[in-house]
Amino acid sequence: MIAVCRMIGFSFETEQDVGVFFKHLQSMAQNGKSAPHNHGWGVYAIKDNAVIYYRSPRPAYEEEMTSFPAKIGIFHARKASEHLPITFLQLHPFIDNRGKAFCHNGTIYDIEYSSIDSDTYSYFLKIKDFSNYEDLTNKIGEIAQNYRHTGMNFLMINNDELVVYCGYSGNKDYYTLWYRDTNGFVVSSEPMDQRFKPIDNKTLLVVKDGKIEQLRSI
C-alpha cells in the first residue's frame, strides 16, 4: 500500500464558508480513489486573522465539523504508507512557528526522518525555510532528484499565500491535482465539479486572495 491521501486547499479575496470543502473531503476519504482514507484528518485555516487548527485520528467521514468562514486553508485525509506508524504524530497538516502549514500526498522513500517517523514531516523540514519561490522551486527539484518517490504533491500555507505543488513519478490518475480559479481558488485531489481543471505534472502555483500570482515548472 502506498500513501494516496486526499487534500483540499482554498484561497479567497474575502472569507467564504468552508463546510462544502469538508464534505468533499469526507466523500473522497470514504468513496474516492483508493478509498478508504481512514487514518485521520486535519484542517488549518485562517479566520479573522485567527488560526483554526485541528487534527483527529478518526476518519473524516466519521466526524462532524461546525462550518465556519475562512479566507485561506487546507484540509487533509490520511492514508498511511505501509511502512509508517498510524499515530497522532503523523497527522497532517504539520505547522511551524513562522506561519506555515503543510500537507502532502504521496510517498518519498529513503528520506531521513527527523523527530517524527514521517516522510511528509521530513519533506516539510527540507523545504519550508525558503528565501523566495525560486529558492523553493530549487529545493523541491533537489528532493525529486535525490529521493525515489511516488508523489510529492503538497499544499502549503505561507502566511497569506497558498502554495500548491503537483509532482509525481507515475500513476497520473491518482496524483493529478485539480483546481478552479473562478470566484476564488480551490484545489483538490479529485474535482468537485466540472469547473475543475488538471494541474500539469511538476508545476508549482502561488495563490493570494484567490488569484494565481506565480506559476513555475520544476
CATH of the domain at 125: 3.60.20.10
For residue 135, the model assigns a pLDDT of: 98
For the entire predicted model, the pTM comes to 0.95
Residue 48 lies in a domain: yes
| C-alpha cell belonging to residue 33 | 480513489
Residue 127 lies in a domain: yes
For residue 2, the model assigns a pLDDT of: 54
- Which residue range is the domain that position 173 belongs to? 6-217
Residue 207 lies in a domain: yes
Contact 208, 181 (CB under 8 A): no
Q: How far apart are CA 48 and CA 46, in angstroms?
A: 7
For residue 12, the model assigns a pLDDT of: 98
Residue 16 lies in a domain: yes
For residue 148, the model assigns a pLDDT of: 95
Residue 82 lies in a domain: yes
| C-alpha cell belonging to residue 124 | 516539510
Residue 205 lies in a domain: yes
Report how many domains make up the chain: 1
For residue 1, the model assigns a pLDDT of: 45
Beta strands in the chain (DSSP E): 6-17, 41-47, 50-56, 69-77, 94-95, 100-105, 153-158, 161-166, 178-180, 185-188, 197-198, 203-208, 211-217
pLDDT tens-place values along the chain, 218 residues long: 455 699 999 999 999 999 999 999 999 999 999 999 999 999 999 998 899 999 999 999 999 999 999 999 999 999 887 676 688 889 999 999 999 999 999 999 999 998 888 999 999 999 999 999 999 999 999 999 999 999 999 999 999 999 999 999 989 999 999 999 999 999 999 999 999 999 999 999 999 999 999 999 99
Tell the burial category of 90 from Cβ atoms under 10 Å away from its Cβ (0-12, 13-18, 19+).
Answer: buried
Task: Give the torsion through C-alpha atoms of 187, 189, 193, 194, to 10 deg.
Answer: 90
Residue spans of alpha helices (H) in 32-132? 119-127
Residue 1 lies in a domain: no
Contact 122, 114 (CB under 8 A): yes
For residue 79, the model assigns a pLDDT of: 87
| C-alpha cell belonging to residue 119 | 516522510
For residue 65, the model assigns a pLDDT of: 95
Q: Please state the length of the chain.
A: 218
Residue 121 lies in a domain: yes
Q: How far apart are CA 52 and CA 72, in angstroms?
A: 11
Q: How far apart are CA 42 and CA 76, in angstroms?
A: 5
Question: Residue 171 — left, alpha, or beta (φ > 0 → left; ψ -120 to 50 → alpha)?
Answer: left
